[in-house]
Structure 1
Amino acid sequence: MTSRLMTMTARLDTLSDEHRERLMALAHEVRYAAGARLFEERERADRFWLIREGDVALELRVPGRPAAVIENLGQGSLLGWSWLFPPRRWHMSAKALTGVRAWEFDAAEVRRLCEEDPRFGYVFVLACAEVIGHRLEDARTRLLDLYGPYGSGLPR
């Protein structure tokens, strides 16, 4: 498996057992039915999830067009990173494609843990940053596929 294909769950294996236990102590299990909206672009980002089962579509609003599906996330994926940075608003929307089971985390609690334990914070935020970088690259590629000169989004 390449590092690009590694899940967030695998990236969290870089945490010590103590740090992983402290993080997971903040988690609670949630379930969403297929079709449920987990969050909407521009709304307040106050939580995030690690997907245990199911698939979630990340969507981006495109003015004058239907929302573009940027990426489908599955087991082991981090869902939501906008909670890390002010103004803490979602950059995309998320919809459950299937039934979803996930661990949900309160963002303020995790940020507090990062501040209290800088070693944990460094490793955790580095794992999130790697996901963010790949997610932004994927979004760019997907938008070029959809709306670039050869994409279906523009008249020929």
Structure 2
Amino acid sequence: MIGSLIDAMPAGTQERLAETAHEVTLPRGTRLFEEGLRADRFWVIRSGQVALDLHVPGRRALVVERLGQGELVGWSWLFPPSIWHLGGEAVLPVQAEEFDAAHVRALCDADPVLGRAVYRYVAETVADRLHRTRARLLDLYGPQGSGADED
């Protein structure tokens, strides 16, 4: 099973999307993509973990999120100019389904039902990650003791 991306697709479109994927094994330390380079593929993790990182001049890359089983790795491929906004590295050995972005975009263009479902899935993924990032930032930088339990 590829994971929640395929599961989220409408009946009749799941098989077409699944046929575009192939399984990959990525050893720990493998760089999947680099910030600023062309985004030409994406993955759904079957097992393992990928760290998303941000280049910080003069410092080591800053890990902004860790993704695991069933999660989509990469959304930059869907939106022009299809350039990675972050970097990604396997921090644990990863088994994943890899998709060719150009092929999936062509499927989305040819099948509006599939296209709408893919765009919606990716948009919901981005929204969820923004929400999680906001929560992490509030934990790090929010005023102490400002929680709901306070009188």
* Closer/same/farther in 2, CA of residues 69 and 146 from structure 1, 3 Å limit: farther
Q: Over residues 82-141 of structure 1, what are the superposed CA-to-partner deviations in whole Å (9 max), with x where a residue is unaligned?
A: 001111110000010111111100000000000100011101110111001122333344
**CA–CA distance in structure 1, aligned partners of residues 59 and 32 of structure 2:** 21
Q: Alpha carbons of 1:24 and 1:34: their partners in 2 closer, same or farther (altered >3 Å)?
A: same
TM-score with structure 2 setting the length: 0.84
Aligned in 2, Cα 1:64/1:142: closer, same or farther, shift over 3 Å?
farther
Measured on the aligned residues, the alpha-carbon RMSD in Å equals 2.2
* Larger relative helix fraction: 1
Does residue 9 of structure 1 match 2:6? no
Query: Within 2, Cα distance between the matches of 1:148 and 1:76?
Result: 31
Q: Which residue of 2 aligns with 1:60?
A: 54
Q: How many residues align?
A: 143
Give the deviation of 1:63 after TM superposition: 3.4
- Aligned partners of 1:39 and 1:93 also within 8 Å: yes
For normalisation by structure 1, the TM-score amounts to: 0.82
Does the CA contact (< 8 Å) of 2:23 and 2:97 recur in 1? yes
Q: State the 4+ residue runs in structure 1 displaced beyond 6 angstroms.
A: 147-150
Residue 12 of structure 1 contacts residue 127 of structure 1 at CA under 8 Å; is this kept in 2? no
Structure 2 match to 1:71: 65
The corresponding residue for 1:26 is 20
Give, in whole Å, the separation in 1 of the partners of 2:23 and 2:136.
31
Q: Which runs of 5+ in 2 are unaligned?
A: 145-151
